[in-house]
């Protein structure tokens, strides 16, 4: 951890700023830059490393570690290239690559970047002390008082949730932090949880040589995505040698010392013996000790916000919560989007300007409910944006789902990988003729996701999508296959049907549910 310099510790504002930001991860940095660029003064407070969870224990290290594993998988899917993969993965090189991307857990560069915007960086723990007032306990044990003329933004992120089961303290389980900063490969690893972190870490550690058992409490993997995605990912993990178990509920852990194996006890009485156990079972907000009780809010809670990220229940219109803290979408890119929106709103309110709150306006986070993209770097990759078919139906939309087998229909996919296996789906709003959601699974599909995000967020009419010509021969030709499958059903959506299942696509139309309301 790099210490702040004397010039950064100096307080040119004497504790009074236009905005105080708690948390200097990507979300806090983004809102700070947006506000600072408008000419307002900002103090940003960080109790750990400037750069936050994403930079040092989340997205950055996990993707740095996963890329070598996935690159080998890609090579093995191409005739001629697979013959060049002749030995085991070099774990020292993989860990060294990770270390470079996390700058060896030294945040000097990020401190300099934030300070260069003109913001005042303060190392310490910040707590609210009533409206627009923050007390910071600095790393040298001193206490400083900051006041915010216009806003305080809580950007404190979240922490891995570990269930309170018997033996968990003694077992000292891994969370995402240990899973991404470890430089030792456990011989046997149990991964508990089948969301994004669980499936990515199972992919990673199996690729590095661990015997991995993935324990999913529900019936499938990646339960918030389309079911077929979890099926493809489960098959990919199984093919790689992961023992994938669904409906597996961990009820107890047993471990005598830190060097002993861990016994994982399942609800059905089975016992698994592993060297380490990783919990990827959700997140809890870092709001336990930020002074919420001093402004009438409940500590340790997720913070409800409006579409400008203004916190509900905080009088006076000055408290904002961005990123994980508001629980809208626990994704770095979505938190940064919220930071841009909130930065606009804070600036407009500070300057006394009316907000642009029209749908998809510059001051409202409409995408949080309509166009959230997410990608998971498993083998095969998984990506989606917007609503699943189930979500759309539950919200009252009348939909068509258009499914395409990518390997069977897209020549460019098979140039990318011999025998390409993957699937794409688009969820079409029948009454408005645009996309509500798009999902992909297959090698390399994460790079398709932004085109889908544009189509969903812009509500591009399907007729206009025909004029967005995909290059030949690329995987992006899947868009043409999806549109062709949809065209064959135009005019057939007035009645709910479960149509054909040929090589080119599968189409289903779903009626509006009785007594439902459109969102």
CATH number for 193: 3.50.50.60
Same domain? For 326 and 468 the reply is no
**Do residue 424 and residue 505 come from a single domain?**
yes
| Distance set, CA 135 to CA 47, 124, 138, 173 (Å) | 13, 10, 9, 34
Residues in the annotated binding site for NAD(+): 193-200, 282
Beta strand pairing call for 373-376 and 120-128: unpaired
- Say whether both 388 and 469 belong to one domain: yes
Is the residue at 63 inside a domain? no
Count of other CB atoms within 10 angstroms of residue 90: 11
Annotated binding site for FAD: 63, 126, 156-158, 324
317 occurs within a structural domain:
yes
Q: What's the pLDDT score for residue 136?
A: 97
Report the C-alpha gap between 452 and 311 in whole angstroms: 31
pTM for the whole thing?
0.92
CB of 47 closer than 8 Å to CB of 125:
yes
On whether residue 373 sits in a domain, the answer given is no
Same domain, 129 and 32: yes
Binding residues are: 63, 126, 156-158, 193-200, 282, 324
My answer on whether 295 and 432 are in the same domain is no
Shared domain for 45 and 178, answered yes or no, is: no
Tokens 């007032």 identify what position? 133
Mean pLDDT throughout 482-494? 77
Question: Do 397 and 493 sit in the same domain of this protein?
Answer: yes
Residue 84 in domain: no
**Domain count within the chain:** 3
Helices in 46-128 by DSSP H: which ranges? Answer: 52-57, 59-76, 91-101, 108-116
506 vs 183 pLDDT, higher one:
183
Task: Output phi, psi for 250, to 5 deg.
Answer: -80, 130
Residue 18 has pLDDT above 60, yes or no: yes
Strands 262-266 and 250-254: antiparallel
Mean pLDDT calculated for residue range 62-91:
96
Domain of residue 192 covers: 168-281
Among residues 478, 350, 417, which one has the least CA distance to residue 81? 417
Reported confidence tier of residue 489, pLDDT bands at 50, 70, 90: confident
Asked if residue 46 and residue 139 are part of one domain, the reply reads yes
State in Å, rounded, how far the first CA of the chain is from the last one.
47
pLDDT band at 117 (very low <50, low <70, confident <90, very high): very high
Does 118 map to a domain?
yes
Query: Does residue 143 share a domain with residue 292?
Result: yes
Boundary (domain end) residue, out of 324, 346, 367: 367
Judged by average pLDDT, the poorest of 311-315, 358-362, 424-428, 499-503 is 499-503
pLDDT, tens digit (0-9, with 9 covering 90-100), for 419-465: 999 999 999 999 999 999 999 999 999 999 999 999 999 999 999 99
- Residue 30 to residues 22, 238, 492, Cα–Cα distance (Å): 12, 39, 47
- Contact call for residues 404 and 504 (beta carbons, < 8 A): yes
Do 214 and 190 lie in one domain? The reply is yes
Q: Do 439 and 478 fall into the same domain? A: yes
Write out pLDDT tens, residues 220-245. 999 999 999 999 999 999 999 999 99
Which of 312, 336, 367 is the endpoint of a domain? 367
Question: pLDDT value at position 492?
Answer: 47
Domain-embedded: residue 58: no
Q: Last residue of a domain, which of 367, 396, 430?
A: 367
- Residue 505 — pLDDT band, cuts 50, 70, 90? low
Cβ 128 vs Cβ 292: under 8 Å: yes
CATH code for the domain in which residue 422 is found: 3.30.390.30
- Residue 70 covered by a domain: no
Average pLDDT, the chain: 92
Three-state DSSP state, 333: helix
Q: Do 40 and 119 fall within a single domain?
A: yes
pLDDT for res 258:
87
């Amino acid at each position: 951890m790099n210490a702040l310099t004397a010039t950064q510790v100096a307080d040119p504002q004497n504790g009074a700023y236009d905005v105080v930001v708690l948390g200097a991860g990507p979300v806090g940095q983004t809102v700070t830059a947006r506000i600072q660029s408008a000419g307002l003064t900002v103090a940003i407070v960080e109790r750990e490393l400037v750069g936050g969870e994403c930079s040092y224990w989340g997205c950055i290290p996990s993707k740095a570690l996963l890329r070598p594993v996935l690159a080998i998988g890609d090579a093995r899917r191409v005739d001629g290239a697979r013959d060049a993969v002749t030995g085991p993965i070099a774990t020292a090189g993989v860990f060294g690559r990770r270390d470079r991307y996390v700058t060896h857990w030294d945040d000097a560069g990020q401190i300099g970047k934030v300070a260069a915007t003109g913001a005042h960086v303060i190392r310490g723990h910040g707590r609210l002390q009533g409206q627009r007032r923050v007390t910071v306990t600095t790393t040298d044990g001193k206490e400083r008082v900051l006041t915010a003329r216009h806003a305080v933004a809580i950007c404190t992120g979240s922490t891995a949730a570990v269930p309170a089961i018997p033996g968990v303290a003694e077992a000292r389980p891994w969370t995402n932090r240990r899973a991404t900063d470890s430089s030792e490969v456990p011989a046997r690893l149990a991964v508990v949880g089948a969301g994004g972190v669980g499936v990515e870490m199972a992919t990673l550690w199996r690729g590095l040589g661990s015997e991995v058992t993935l324990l999913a409490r529900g019936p499938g993997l990646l339960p918030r995505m389309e079911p077929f995605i979890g099926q493809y990912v489960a098959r990919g993990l199984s093919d790689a040698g992961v023992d994938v178990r669904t409906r597996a509920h961990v009820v107890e852990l047993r471990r005598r010392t830190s060097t002993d194996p861990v016994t994982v006890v399942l609800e059905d009485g089975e016992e698994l013996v592993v060297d380490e156990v990783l919990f990827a079972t959700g997140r809890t907000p870092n709001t336990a000790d930020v002074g919420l009780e001093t402004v009438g809010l409940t500590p340790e809670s997720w913070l409800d916000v409006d579409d400008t990220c203004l916190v509900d229940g905080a009088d006076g219109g000055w408290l904002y919560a961005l990123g994980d803290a508001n629980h809208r979408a626990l994704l770095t890119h979505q938190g940064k989007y919220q930071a841009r929106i909130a930065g606009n709103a804070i600036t407009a309110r500070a300057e006394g300007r009316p907000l642009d709150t029209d749908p998809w306006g510059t001051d409202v986070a409409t995408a949080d409910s309509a166009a959230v993209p997410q990608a998971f770097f498993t083998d095969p990759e998984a990506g989606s944006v917007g609503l699943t078919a189930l979500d759309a139906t539950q919200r009252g939309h009348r939909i068509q789902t258009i499914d395409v087998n990518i390997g069977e229909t897209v020549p460019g996919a098979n140039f990318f990988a011999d025998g390409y296996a993957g699937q794409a789906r688009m969820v079409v709003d029948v009454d408005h003729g645009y996309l509500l959601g798009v999902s992909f699974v297959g090698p390399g599909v994460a790079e398709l996701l932004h085109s889908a995000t544009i189509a969903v967020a812009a509500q591009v009419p399907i007729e206009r999508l025909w004029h967005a010509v995909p290059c030949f021969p690329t995987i992006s030709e899947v868009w043409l296959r999806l549109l062709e499958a949809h065209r064959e059903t135009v005019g057939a959506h007035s009645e709910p049907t479960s149509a054909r299942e040929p090589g080119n696509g599968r189409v289903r139309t779903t009626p509006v549910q009785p007594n439902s309301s459109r969102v």
